[in-house]
Amino acid sequence: MRAAVILPCDQPRVTRALLDELVAHYLASDKPIVACAYAGIVGAPALFDRSLFPELERLRGDRGARGILERRPEHVASVPFPDAAFDVDRPADAAALRRDRSKEIE
């Protein structure tokens, strides 16, 4: 395995097209990390080269891989993905997602 994608399960607007874009940027760049840019941050979903697996394995706590992204900005290529800012953490978020999806069907 050359790389892995960190993909939180609470970001329902992630698409296969986005994942394909992360991989394409990884293959085209010399950066070991490709992360999504949204809401003024760079974060997950993010692709990490296997050279970073040991560092990922040492992660503890609930910050996830954000610390790696912050410590290594020169190693990060970013892909704009504003929809990553929407995540489902509360019942109100789930209700908003249902409303959005029902509008898509109309």
Handedness of CA 62, 64, 68, 73 (dihedral sign): negative
Contact criterion met (CB below 8 Å) for 22 and 8:
no
- Whole-angstrom Cα distance, residue 51 to residue 42? 20
pLDDT digits (tens, 9 = 90+) for 41-51: 999 999 999 99
Amino acid at 4: A
For the domain spanning 3-105, the CATH number is 3.90.550.10
- Whole-angstrom Cα distance, residue 21 to residue 67? 23
Q: Within a 10 A sphere around the Cβ of 56, how many other Cβ atoms?
A: 14
pLDDT digits (tens, 9 = 90+) for 60-101: 877 788 889 999 999 999 999 998 877 777 777 677 777 776
- Whole-angstrom Cα distance, residue 22 to residue 6? 11
- Whole-angstrom Cα distance, residue 73 to residue 78? 10
- Whole-angstrom Cα distance, residue 106 to residue 103? 5
